[in-house]
Structure 1
Amino acid sequence: MKKFKFEYRITLAYLFLGGVWIIFSDKLLYLIIDNANLLTEIQTYKGWFFVFVTALIFYIFLKKHLNLLRYTEQELILSKEKAEKSEKSYKDVVETSSDLITVVDGQGKILFVNHASNKFYGLSPNECIGMRTFDFVHPEDKDYTQSKFEELINSKNNNFYFENRQINKSGEISDTEWNLHIERKGTEIIKITSIGRDITRQNSTQQELIKAKEKAEQADRLKSAFLANMSHEIRTPMNGILGFSELLKTPNLSGEQQQNYIRVIEKSGKRMLNIINDIVDISKIEAGLMKLDLKESNINEQVEYIYTFFKPEVEAKGMQLFLKKTLPSKEVIIKTDREKLFAILTNLVKNAIKYSNKGVIEFGYEKKEGYIEFFVKDMGIGIPKERQQAVFERFIQADIEDTMARQGAGLGLSITKAYVEMLGGKIWVESEEGIGSTFYFTLPYNVELKVKMNTKEIDVTSNSENHIKNLKILIAEDDETSEMLLSLNVSEFSNEIITAITGKEAIEACQNNPNIDLVLMDIQMPEVNGFEAARQIRKFNKDVIIIAQTAYGLAGDREKSLDAGCNDYISKPINKSKLESLIQKYFQKPQTVN
């Protein structure tokens, strides 16, 4: 329109100026020139002059206008190129973005999706176009998403955020977050641009962190409770030991009273030792130091021993103990760790006794395909369903808020589970609260039968004719109480006892007394430890019997002792019978039985 107006202006200006020029120039010429020929000639020149000036004016105006048009056209071309370049950059950003970018119309139909969206949904661009965004929403989230969409439409706010779950073509479910922007024309929605992000891993990590935090808090709470419970569990038997030790000092006690007090002290000591052993065992397991000692084991012998051992305790509570064994004697030998199998069964039977006050306790085994399934069944208080997995966790018995907790450190079942898994089995419990519990565990049925040779048995039991009496014994022990106890225990075997309180003194004692028969070597000694002392002694005395003794009780102590040159190993607290058996092993002449 502006172009035509400009042309009109030029034309009107030309008509006006041309008319003015013709009319006024002719009148002027008529007034000043009388000669007709001259007037005609001048009018001719005037006409040419008018044409020339008009052409010049037209040229100037047209050139200016054309230059303006060319400049405008050039600007339009440049603007178009910039717009195309910008649009291409925008498309590149959108297509290469890892975010899920989608454009839909007011009805939720997809107008555009970027490459990330295609990949996320497992569809091609052509498949996506025309579909509704709700087609990808998880069925359980459709109502929620619909309400959010309606809230967005009815809201005056053009920006919105929400989260939901999406399902792709393969049926995979992903957690997603969305930022939406609405373009409106009045009350009508033109399009909605949404930028989404897969937050499945983020949510999973967040949930893991929450669980880890809860687990850490629970572990902290249980460990605190465990420490409090351990204080109680150690102080209680210590109370019995110290209290009845004090009572033993009372004058004029009868022999029966003394024996009763001694039995209480012994029982309290064993209880405290069990607690310490549990702590040591769980420490070994956590440190990966617990090792297996796989040997041929007679299952029937082990379960029969446990039955005989616990039968009086069960009957003392007014209950009955039953044993079920199904394998004949020729099939009961399997390769396993005897000590750990014994510990597993002992823990489970003790547990059944602890939580039962009536009825029957039954334990035993059945042979299944490729494995043996052991069980311990009681008619005790039972375990609620929500606690049935937790009972195998460490410290769970130590929870001071647990009204079901009874005497114990809460490590027995945890140790039992670890042992079962080390032996290649699994453990579980079936229980009903108020009815009772049955603990099951499996072990591989590894049968390795060997032909037994008809060998003569060695009788190492002492008798009056072959009693050991004249040993020269060195006790290397820095603890005065332990040294005194050892001296009393070996006094019947010795004619002379030498003591050393450091490793260095032990070495010197052996150098000065080459006729020493036996060295009881404490591993933890001042100046020179027991291992090193044994090595030094072996350099000049290959024959002396060295028995290592330690309060550590850790895996590998026996091997370290033997590597250092010791003949054998015994752990504290030292059992007199075990110590006597070791001495008889090395110093008593064997009696053969025909």
Structure 2
Amino acid sequence: MTWARRTTFWRYNLFLEVVSLALASAILFAGIWFTLNRINQDYLDLRLADAARVHVFLESQLDEARAGLATFADLPATQRSPQVMKLFTAFSDIYCLDRALRVVQIHKAVPNSKVFTGFSFSGGKLASYLQSVGESTDASEILRGYEDDAPSVYIGIHRGDEFCMGRLNLDYVRKFLIQFSQFSGAPLMLTASDGFVMLSGDPALQLPAIDLKRWVETPNASRTLTTGNRRWIPLIAPTGAIGARIVMLVPTEFLDTQRNTLLAFGLAFMSGWFLLVVLKNHRLNRLVMQPLRAFAGKLRDLELGKLRTADADADQRFTELVEIHTRFRAMAEAIKQREQALRDSEKQYRIITESMKDVVWIFDMETRHFLYLSPSIEELVGVTPQDYLAAPFGALLTPQVTDQLQLLWGQRAAVLLSGGSKPGQSYVDEVLHPHRDGTLIWTEVVSTYWLNEETGHVEVRGVSRDIRERKQAQEALFIAKQQAEEANKAKSTFLSNMSHEIRTPLNAILGFAQVLIRDPHLTAPQRDSLTTIQRGGEHLLALINDILDMAKIEAGRMSVQVVPFDLIQLLSETEGLFQQRARDRGLNLTFALSAIPRGVIGDAQKLRQILINLVGNAIKFTRAGGIILKVEPAGAEQFRFSVNDTGVGIAPEEMMRLFEPFSQTASGRELQGGTGLGLALSYQFVRLMGGQLSAQSSLGQGSCFAFTLPLPAAAGAETGTDQARRAVLGLEPGQPVCRVLIVDDLPDNRAPLRALLESLNPQPPVIECREAADGREAVALWEAWQPHVIFMDMRMPVLSGEAATRRIKARAATRPAAVRSVIVALTAGAFDENREQVLASGCDAFTRKPFQAEELFGMLERLAGLRFRRAGDAPPPPDVSPEDLIRRLSASPADWQAEFKQAVGLGDFGHMEALLERIRDDDAILHETLARWAYDYDLEALAAVFKLG
């Protein structure tokens, strides 16, 4: 590159330092300006947030006023005495208006009020507000009151044909604004929507109005308002509940101080830097530049051949310069020899590059031109190397590719020059290169960056190769991946629909089976038939769950639910599940537990399913001998589970695919049982829980399946109670009535659940049931009937279960007196991903179809507070016939009869209880019967007995 005008290094260095000084000054002052703006803006945003919080205070006061007006409106007219009116301090005036907005009655008024009985509020902004009360408006905007022209806010409420209106007492708002202004140092004002100042925290400012349109924009320290001999920055908060705007006047003194301090610092810093530059250049000129100028003169002598060997180095002070002069002549000869070697090397390089299919090239970053292109460029893009070298950079490329290469090459060259990377570091890019025929070719560009020491330019050396075939393969792979994802999605959709369609009839089958099997009047054959139906349905449900679990695992949706549980109880329940089956087959089932804690943390449900699968398989494939389940410690908080059997064993050639889905061994195919999913699911569950399921087997001798799981100890883990495991026989009598609404679009789903619940009822009934066929009908029944419990199907026409739940919860939240219904979600879906979504809609619990009776009983016990009679509880008092009751009553002492009859006539239940204690030991049946009626406050039954007696 030829410079139009050369200069000395001294001047150039000085120029650079001046430029750097100027640039640094610009950057410093730009930074100061940015910092000031940022600080100012953050400060103003903070003050604006403070102003906006005032609305919270106003909202709370407004809410209290609404509640107070509602209380006033609910008072009978006879109770609205002057003494009562004094309690409504939130209002300065309270009126009753007719439909024409005329004052019918004044209950409270300020002194010298301009409003009188018959006064009409039908004009102005207030009239439009009063006409919209109960629709969209909560409170009127702040305006001048009709009573005394003071700032006012009006609130209205309808109660039947009566319309009550109150004017808020804004003295507390004025005091709050004054206190807030004095505390913050920033006056706070409350303005109407037209900008007139209604209330001010600093009355001394005497500011009648604010131009809201001018100051509503983002606050800026440069936009100020001058009033009261001070400059202020107006901050306008959004419109609040009463239609007013909060205006805060922030004084500018604090921001001015910050600006002056930062500017002073910047000037002091730049002055110090300038002095340092002057001193440094003075030293540089004396110690460096003068010796360099002398050395340049020596080089000119060398160029002219005037260097004499006798005194060539006599004037040199530094050893380095002496060495340079000594080696200079030897260097010239060496240069000639190396130039020849370089020409030979270049010849060989051209032979190699010209024979390559890939394009080899060199690009100069300074001149923006290619220095070399191998002939294979013509085969790649249809342009000869000569034409490519003659064209400007980017002329044969697309603008996008040109910009991409300039950006990437420029950044990497800058990193090389700054020392951030080493010379020769390689980079790989993919570039869409245009062909001469107009098509686009994908090329892979491998580039390295070098600094040419002769020219001082950064050179990019690279190789470009055609990667069209690879790109086509990648595109085919991407399409295949998309197709696989779509197929997986279609499978999930199919499984979800399949689950819903199968679970829906299963809900009716298993539901009615659970209802009918509870009938104590069933014959043994009938009970066996129902047990067969129930077992078949549960087996089909288990198969569906296994398929869905495998689908979840394949889709990556299965997760581990880690909770505290009772390990010993889980093992005991598993043993009880299989003990009778093992006895029926003449097998010995043993659970060997070695020093294991009761409470642990893990996924109890998956562990239970693993053990059920392994023990169940062991019993199924064992004809004689026994099965042993061992649980023993295997390290810190690690436990080893192993299931050993003396069964038929597994052939070695079948061990490799033992844990594959839908795969069965030869013995399994002989038995013609199972789906081949049990071991596959167990293997995946163990892996999810942090273990590895392994198997060892000898054909004809038995098998051993073992795994080790981390189960940290959990102090106080929930162990369950005997009561929770005992069968429910019915509901305890004497409880408050519980209204239950069953919502499902299919009658076959509603009928078994209703039959199950009503079968629990004692006399008189505790549960009352109603049904709804869709979400809209459920909302209407909730409005009219107020059920305590709602069993809500999620998938229904007209209005879904989720939408109906949201509506019911929203309406209940606005009505303090409404029943807080417990909503249990029922779903026949395949996956549980929507569990959180369903619960977020407002449901209190979640269960799957087909429903399990014991699970529903537990929900009613936990969420609705119902009390159940379970197997093993003390029997209820026996039913007594009227004749037997009269006989027993006649046998009691006469004075006791007279005294008890008198207590019944007076309704004195306390005295009745005391009298009943006197006959507890004499006649327990009479005591229990009369005590139950007294506990239920059943005076009618007690009076009827004594009338018969």
TM-score after normalising by structure 1: 0.54
Rounded Cα–Cα distance in structure 2 between residues aligned with 1:451 and 1:267: 32
Q: AA paired with 2:774?
A: T
1:394–1:458: structure 2 CA closer, same or farther, 3 Å change rule? closer
CA shift in 2, pair 1:467/1:278, >3 Å: farther
In the alignment, does 2:773 pair up with 1:501?
yes
The offset of 1:463, in angstroms, is 7.6
2:611 aligns with 345
Q: Using a 3 Å threshold, how does the CA distance of structure 1 residues 94 and 419 change in structure 2: closer, same or farther?
A: same
Name the CA shift for 1:485/1:378 in 2 (closer, same or farther; >3 Å).
same
CA contact (8 A) 2:599 2:717 kept: no
- The answer to which of 274-283 and 461-470 deviates more is 461-470
Find the partner of 1:570 among 829, 844, 847: 847
> Does residue 444 of structure 1 match 2:716?
no
- 1:362 and 2:628 correspond: yes
Call closer, same or farther: CA 1:570–1:445 in 2, change over 3 Å. closer
Tell me the SS of whatever aligns to 1:519.
Answer: strand
2:571 is aligned to 303
Determine the structure 1 residue equivalent to 2:143.
none
Tell me the equivalent position of 1:519.
790
Q: What amino acid does structure 1 have at the position aligned with 2:622?
A: S
- Using the alignment, how far apart are the partners of 1:349 and 1:585 within structure 2? 33
Give the counterpart of 1:327 among 578, 583, 595: 595
CA distance in 2, matches of 1:488, 1:402: 40
Query: Which residue type is aligned with residue 386 of structure 1?
Result: E
Structure 1 residue 590, shift from structure 2 partner: 7.0
**Corresponding residue for residue 690 of structure 2:** 424
Conserved? CA contact 1:553–1:571, under 8 Å:
no
2:532 to 264, 281, 288: 264
Supply the AA of the counterpart residue of 2:557: L
Alignment partners' CA distance in 2, 1:458 and 1:256? 27
Q: What pairs up with 1:101-250 in 2 under 5 angstroms?
A: none
Alignment partner, residue 474 of structure 1: 741
AA of the residue aligned to 1:476:
V
Task: Spell out, residue by residue over 1:412-456, the C-alpha distance to the aligned partner (whole angstroms, 9 max, x if none).
Answer: 111111111111111110111111110011101422435999x9x
Residue of structure 2 equivalent to 1:530:
801
Question: Offset at 1:401?
Answer: 12
Question: Retained in 2: the 8 A contact 1:376–1:439?
Answer: yes
Aligned pair 1:291/2:559, yes or no?
Answer: yes
Question: What does residue 654 of structure 2 align with?
Answer: 387
Amino acid at match of 2:745: D
- Offset from partner CA, 1:297-318 (integer Å, 9 cap, x none): 3322221221122111011111
8 Å Cα contact 2:861/2:867 also seen in 1: no
- Percent identity over the alignment is 28
Q: What is aligned with 1:277?
A: 545
CA contact (8 A) 1:377 1:437 kept: yes
Q: Do the aligned partners of 1:373 and 1:440 also contact (CA within 8 Å) in 2?
A: yes
Query: Is the 2:563–2:602 Cα contact (8 Å) retained in structure 1?
Result: yes
For residues 725 and 806 of structure 2, what CA distance do their matches in structure 1 show?
A: 32
Give the drift of 1:367: 0.8
Q: Which amino acid aligns with 1:536?
A: R
CA deviations over 1:138-197 (Å, ceiling 9, x no partner): xxxxxxxxxxxxxxxxxxxxxxxxxxxxxxxxxxxxxxxxxxxxxxxxxxxxxxxxxxxx
Work out the CA distance in 1 between the residues paired with 2:779 and 2:630: 52
Matched, 1:588 2:588: no
SS across alignment from 1:389: helix
Pair 265,590 (structure 1): closer, same or farther in 2 beyond 3 Å: closer
Aligned residues of 1:290 and 1:555 also touching (Cα < 8 A): no
Deviation at 1:333, TM superposition (A): 2.6
Task: Report the alpha carbon displacement of residue 497 of structure 1 after superposing the two structures with TM.
Answer: 2.4
Structure 1 equivalent of residue 700 of structure 2:
434
| Matching residue of 1:547 | 824
Per the alignment, in what secondary structure is the counterpart of residue 658 of structure 2?
Answer: helix
Give the C-alpha shift of residue 587 in structure 1. 3.0
Amino acid at match of 1:340: K
Match of 1:484 in 2: 751
User: Letter of the aligned partner of 2:863 in structure 1?
Assistant: Y
8 A Cα contact 2:826 2:846, kept in partner: yes
Q: What amino acid sits opposite 2:591 in the alignment?
A: L
1:410 counterpart letter in structure 2: G
Question: Residue type matched to 2:536 in 1?
Answer: S
Once the two structures are superposed, what CA deviation does each residue of 1:481-540 show, in whole Å capped at 9, x if it has no partner?
111111101224555422211122212221232x21211101111122211211111011
- Aligned partners of 2:648 and 2:702 also within 8 Å: yes
Per the TM alignment, residue 286 of structure 1 is displaced from its structure 2 partner at its CA by: 2.3
1: distance between equivalents of 2:849 and 2:548? 12
CA contact (8 A) 2:587 2:627 kept: yes
Whole-Å separation in 2 of the counterparts to 1:583 and 1:284? 30
**1:558: Cα distance to partner?**
3.8
Alignment of 1:70-81 (within 5 A): none
Question: How far has the Cα of 1:87 moved from its partner?
Answer: 8.4
Q: Secondary structure at the match of 2:574?
A: helix
Provide the residue aligned with 2:643 in structure 1. 376
State the structure with more CA Rg. Answer: 1
1:396 matched to 2:663: yes
The whole-number CA distance in structure 1 between the counterparts of 2:610 and 2:589 is: 17
Counterpart contact for 1:475–1:519, Cα < 8 Å: yes
Change (3 A) 1:452 1:438: closer
Q: Where do 5+ consecutive residues of structure 1 fail to align? A: 1-83, 99-201, 217-222, 249-253
SS class of match (2:524): helix
Q: 1:553 to 1:94 in 2, by over 3 A?
A: closer
Q: Distance in 2 between matches of 1:549 and 1:375?
A: 37
Deviates more, 1:523-532 or 1:310-319: 523-532
Alignment length (residue pairs): 366
Q: Which amino acid is the alignment partner of residue 770 of structure 2? A: I
Higher RCO by CA contacts (8 Å cutoff, separation 6 or greater):
1
Whether the 8 Å CA contact 2:828–2:849 is kept in 1: the answer is yes
Q: Where do 5+ consecutive residues of structure 2 fail to align?
A: 1-344, 360-469, 485-490, 517-521, 814-819, 869-949
- Change in 2 beyond 3 A, CA 1:300/1:516: closer
**More helix per residue: 1 or 2?**
1
- Give the secondary-structure state (helix, strand or coil) at the position aligned to 1:583: helix
Which residue is 1:415 aligned to?
A: 681
Q: 1:463 to 1:480 in 2, by over 3 A?
A: closer
The letter for the 2-side match of 1:341 is L
Segment of structure 1 superposing worse, 87-96 or 551-560: 87-96
Letter in 1 for 2:787: I
- Write out per-residue CA displacement over residues 327-378 of structure 1, whole angstroms, 9 at most, x where no aligned residue: 15xx343210111111111111111112111111111212112321101111
TM-score, normalization: structure 2? 0.35
Aligned counterpart, 2:96: none
User: Following the alignment from structure 2 to structure 1, what is the Cα–Cα distance between the partners of residues 675 and 781?
Assistant: 43
Please report the RMSD computed on the Cα atoms of aligned residues, expressed in angstroms.
Answer: 4.3
Sort the Cα spacing of 1:93 and 1:323 in 2 relative to 1 into closer, same or farther, 3 A. Answer: farther
SS of residue paired to 1:322: strand
Q: Distance in 1 between matches of 2:699 and 2:734?
A: 57
